[in-house]
Structure 1
Amino acid sequence: MLDDVEAVVLVGGKGTRLRPLTLSAPKPMLPTAGVPFLAHLLSRIRAAGVRRVVLGTSYLAETFEEHFGDGGKLGLDLTYVVETEPLGTGGGIANVAEYLTTDDVLIFNGDVLCGTDLGAVVETHRRTAADVTLHLVRVQDPRAYGCVPTDPDGRVTAFLEKTEDPPTDQINAGCYVFKRSVIDSIPRGRVVSVERETFPELLESGARVSGHVDNAYWRDMGTPGDLVHGSADLVRGVAPSAALPGPTGESIVMEGATVAPDAFVFGGSTIGRGVTIGAGAKIESSMIFDGAVIAPGAIVEESVVGAGARIEEAAHIRDTVIGDRAVVGAHCELKGGARVWPDVVLPPHGVRFSADV
């Protein structure tokens, strides 16, 4: 149990890659498998035995405290610290330093879905007497990420930028353990990147930077595709969480939703509160936010349908984001990363991708 460790979750980003979803809510507050994404991370922190969490907020900061309050319902003690201007990962950590009281502090990027054993990460940190320990995860294709090689003793040897020929499959998973003394050494009041400034300076000074390497479930939830797949993994039980509002399976249907008996809802889909799914509609691996309407015969695949939006009869969307209250007219077809902004109305037959109609 990690009752002698506090946690910091950095949730200040604007989530621009997820627009238009993040025009009305910060990325960590987007409904994911039926609850705000942050609830899943907080449940993992609580399950590891941590009791006190400091949230570093900035964009739409008030929404976090409005939803989670003091954390009592989660079994946590939550403190909120607002960045008046973006400070980067390191600057965000330094900005909350005065609210921390323990010698070892877990730090999380607030947009990562991860199944690692947090107790094991802290154990590695303490066993190796590290100044900082990074959770490193192995990925099949590390070319899309910066790489973090380690020596046979588990010591981090470098922080490498993206390359077509990476020397290791280990990448930074966005979870760290910091000694309090390292947090206190980060410059205050300016933008600081831990990846480009703090960590390289620690290596140069001879500090011990350890890597805890595993093959745990991991996904950066920064793009619509990752958000959809991460939510589906939570619903199906592939990704661990103690915050699901229902049992794992092919779908989670929230209270007040109406699903026609002959509609197909599967693939880890989430149907929000007050949603209506019409006869013969097909919802596969998708997120349907509260109050949306999916008309009879419509098909929604690997997509996000915003709150109060409407997908009209026989429309077909795939790999698409529909903003809040937008309307996709009957027989429209959208796919391939299309995004419709809030309140936009596409007329019937207004958009088609297929060449044969």
Structure 2
Amino acid sequence: MKALVLSGGTGTRLRPLTHTSAKQLVPVANKPVLFYGLESIAAAGITEVGVVTGDTEDEVRATVGDGSEFGIRVTYLRQEQPLGLAHAVLTAREWLGDEDFVMFLGDNFLIDGITSVVEEFSASRPDAHILLTKVANPSAFGVAEVAADGTVVRLEEKPEAPRSDLAVVGIYLFTSAVHEAIDRITPSARGELEITDAIQWLIDRDFTVRSTLMEGYWKDTGTVEDLLEVNRIVLERLRSRTDGRVDEASELVGRVSVGRNTEIRNSRIIGPVVIGDGARIHGSTIGPFTSVADDCAIIDSGIEYSIVLEDSRIEGVRGVEASLIGRSVRVTGAPRTPRTHRLVLGDHSTARISA
């Protein structure tokens, strides 16, 4: 079995961060989201991995390399335009050959990996196998109708009136039958070759499409809120370690990981928190649920439930929370100004103003 990992797309919901970075490389707990997917693929025993890239190919190549760090062999496959998930499979057709494969969307995160579903698929080999999860807003996803035995009977992409609350997770398993389906479908109204249409083509022609209802945690990390939530989930499994320098005036509370050559002075770190290498934390309070990347400086500040990327500096700012701060950012306190109120009130008004 091979794996096809999609690492293209524009990441519009994460702008402006994704103007300069691939959305799959945004870190949670100081590790790119994409890495968690590659690790789960390797853990499932899959070693041949095709990574589909777009305009951010150079950055993805530089970060992932040849895959040896993960125990896999990576082949890069360029998708010139983001024309749909089925189009990505079409782009990889020659590399995939006639082998079974798992398609993994690189910005998806599964806490329990894919080993069990790969084993399930390999044992029974349906023509396609999809992962499902119950969601509160199914109209934002591909939605499945499933028979009692787990067979999929219908798929719809972001329906206005969903027939179920079962959303399709961004991990799919296929035999080579999917290539015929992709050859036969046409672009959707948004001009893309939809993988849901290809799977529905298989269903309509009595190919076997099975499903697994996920019980573990899954998230599509397409928004800042999603990234912060995944960061929280990963940090809850953090192991404490201190490889940097922590002075006697500082306090580490709970699970805190401090990187090499990091200096913590006169600060309080409330875990779970991970701080990368070469950081400086002076006179500050950090955490809980915060990731601070390499070479950052947090001086006389307070931050919690946030992600701070490499080489950024926060100085003289308290009360930073639920924030995603990019690379080489400078956040500083503004000078205090007298507080004034300008009012235009009609007759018989009542105004209540906080002093």
**In structure 2, what is the equivalent of residue 252 of structure 1?**
257
C-alpha spacing 1:123/1:264, structure 2 compared with 1 (3 Å): closer
> Unmatched 5+ residue regions in structure 2?
243-253, 340-352
**In structure 2, what is the equivalent of residue 293 of structure 1?**
297
| Aligned-pair CA distance for 1:258 | 2.2
Q: Paired residues, what number?
A: 325
Q: Percent identity?
A: 28
**In structure 1, what is the equivalent of residue 114 of structure 2?**
118
Give structure 1 regions of 4+ aligned residues with deviation exceeding 6 angstroms.
244-247
The correspondence for 2:285, drawn from 265, 277, 281, is 281
**In structure 2, what is the equivalent of residue 199 of structure 1?**
199
Distance (whole Å) between structure 1 residues aligned to residue 168 and residue 156 of structure 2: 10
**In structure 2, what is the equivalent of residue 211 of structure 1?**
211
| Aligned-pair CA distance for 1:157 | 1.6
Secondary structure in 2 matching 1:81:
strand
**In structure 2, what is the equivalent of residue 311 of structure 1?**
314
Alignment of 1:120-159 (within 5 A): 120-139=116-135, 142=138, 144-159=140-155
Distance (whole Å) between structure 2 residues aligned to residue 130 and residue 156 of structure 1: 11
**In structure 1, what is the equivalent of residue 327 of structure 2?**
324
**In structure 1, what is the equivalent of residue 247 of structure 2?**
none
C-alpha spacing 1:133/1:328, structure 2 compared with 1 (3 Å): same
| Aligned-pair CA distance for 1:283 | 2.9
Distance (whole Å) between structure 2 residues aligned to residue 33 and residue 286 of structure 1: 8
Distance (whole Å) between structure 1 residues aligned to residue 161 and residue 84 of structure 2: 28
The one-character-per-residue Cα deviations of 1:58-100 (angstroms, maximum 9, x if unpaired) are 1310112212221122211111111122121110111012112
Residue 12 of structure 1 aligns to which amino acid in structure 2? G
| Aligned-pair CA distance for 1:176 | 0.7
The one-character-per-residue Cα deviations of 1:114-170 (angstroms, maximum 9, x if unpaired) are 134534323443555421110112346646544312101211122245578755342
Distance (whole Å) between structure 1 residues aligned to residue 42 and residue 86 of structure 2: 24
Alignment of 1:53-72 (within 5 A): 53-72=49-68
Secondary structure in 2 matching 1:103:
coil
Distance (whole Å) between structure 2 residues aligned to residue 349 and residue 225 of structure 1: 30
The correspondence for 2:171, drawn from 169, 172, 175, is 175
**In structure 2, what is the equivalent of residue 233 of structure 1?**
233
Distance (whole Å) between structure 2 residues aligned to residue 326 and residue 11 of structure 1: 25
Distance (whole Å) between structure 1 residues aligned to residue 65 and residue 82 of structure 2: 23
> Unmatched 5+ residue regions in structure 1?
239-243, 331-346
Residue 327 of structure 1 aligns to which amino acid in structure 2? R
Q: Do 1:138 and 1:215's aligned partners in 2 also have CA atoms closer than 8 Å?
A: no
C-alpha spacing 1:150/1:292, structure 2 compared with 1 (3 Å): same
| Aligned-pair CA distance for 1:8 | 0.5
TM-score by length of 1: 0.80
TM-score by length of 2: 0.81
| Aligned-pair CA distance for 1:10 | 0.5
Q: Which structure has the larger Rg over C-alpha atoms?
A: 2
C-alpha spacing 1:185/1:141, structure 2 compared with 1 (3 Å): closer
Secondary structure in 1 matching 2:154:
coil
The one-character-per-residue Cα deviations of 1:190-218 (angstroms, maximum 9, x if unpaired) are 731112x2122222222221111221221
Q: Do 1:299 and 1:316's aligned partners in 2 also have CA atoms closer than 8 Å?
A: yes
Secondary structure in 1 matching 2:169:
strand
**In structure 2, what is the equivalent of residue 83 of structure 1?**
79
Please report the RMSD computed on the Cα atoms of aligned residues, expressed in angstroms.
Answer: 3.0
Does 1:108 find its partner at 2:109? Answer: no
Residue 132 of structure 2 aligns to which amino acid in structure 1? L
Distance (whole Å) between structure 2 residues aligned to residue 323 and residue 203 of structure 1: 44
The correspondence for 1:92, drawn from 69, 72, 88, is 88
| Aligned-pair CA distance for 1:271 | 2.0
Distance (whole Å) between structure 1 residues aligned to residue 91 and residue 260 of structure 2: 39
Distance (whole Å) between structure 2 residues aligned to residue 167 and residue 281 of structure 1: 48
